[in-house]
Amino acid sequence: MKPEHVEEFFRRLAERLPDPRSELEFESPFTLLVAVVLSAQATDASVNKATPALFELANTPEKMVALGEPRIQDLIRTIGLYRTKAKNIIKLSEMLIAEHDSKVPRTREALQRLPGVGRKTANVVLNVAFAEPTIAVDTHIFRVGNRTGLARGVTPEQVETRLEKAVPARYKLHAHHWLILHGRYICTARKPNCPECVVNDLCAFKAKTTLEPPKTLRVKPARTPGRKAKAQRGRARLAMRSA
Ligand code: SF4
């Protein structure tokens, strides 16, 4: 995509949603970190259902360790991979206490050393908790980047690198949320809503969807007479001739 089109792409997304926010619920960098760890291969909605009860009991690393793995498992049972995630939450809480004065570190390297924290999770925490202009490439951003031609790549890291180069500096802080929300609600995996997409004319996707005509206006194809009807008409003609 040409740089002037990338600029226009983000100008329109920014105009539509000037102050985009994470849809995960959290109250501090620590609860954000836990919520993002829980959201791996799960929806934000499923995480938001479980975390209020969890954070009411444990909103600091110390309280999380005191709560213990079996109790955490009970509280997050509705989220996929809950056993592994409960184990990681205990371990990362212990590491935060032992190595970071119970605080969430502000560097990608330190974040990625925590159990259950990969590059994507680290990028989300840096962006949302510390206002760093990182772009965490999840399934939505990967799809939007490739479809639109904004940042094509075969791995999330490739898409991330290309987005970092392509996105104008003034849009970098919120680019992550604009692209996620665009992918989640407009440029969906199965049926993108291209007719209502504000960047439709800038997008390079070849299989854009179009408006379907209303049911009442759909013209029924003319039916060709079946064999039975033809045979009946033939018999009627014969009967008339022999009469
Ligand atoms: S035009 Fe369609 S495919 Fe392109 S970004 Fe918009 S919704 Fe996605």
Closest CA to 34 of 101, 99, 79: 79
CB 66 within 8 A of CB 102: no
Closest CA to 153 of 168, 165, 166, 143: 143
pLDDT tens figures, 158-179:
999 999 999 999 999 999 999 9
Average pLDDT over residues 137-152: 96
Higher-pLDDT residue of 214, 103: 103
Which of 1, 5, 186, 196 is the best mutation target for the ligand 1 pocket, counting ligand atoms within 8 Å of the beta carbon and taking the most?
Answer: 186
pLDDT at 239 over 60: no
Tell me, yes or no, if 138 is annotated catalytic. Answer: yes
Tell me, yes or no, if 120 is annotated catalytic. Answer: yes
CB 137 within 8 A of CB 127: no
pLDDT tens figures, 68-98:
999 999 999 999 999 999 999 999 999 999 9
Domain 1-212 homologous superfamily, CATH: Hypothetical protein; domain 2 (1.10.340.30)
Which of 10, 13, 200, 206 is the best mutation target for the ligand 1 pocket, counting ligand atoms within 8 Å of the beta carbon and taking the most?
Answer: 200
Q: Phi/psi of residue 149, each to 5°? A: 90, 5
The pTM of this model reads 0.82
CA of 186 to the centre of ligand 1 (A): 7
Closest CA to 169 of 139, 197, 135, 143: 135
Number of H helices, E strands in the chain: 12, 0
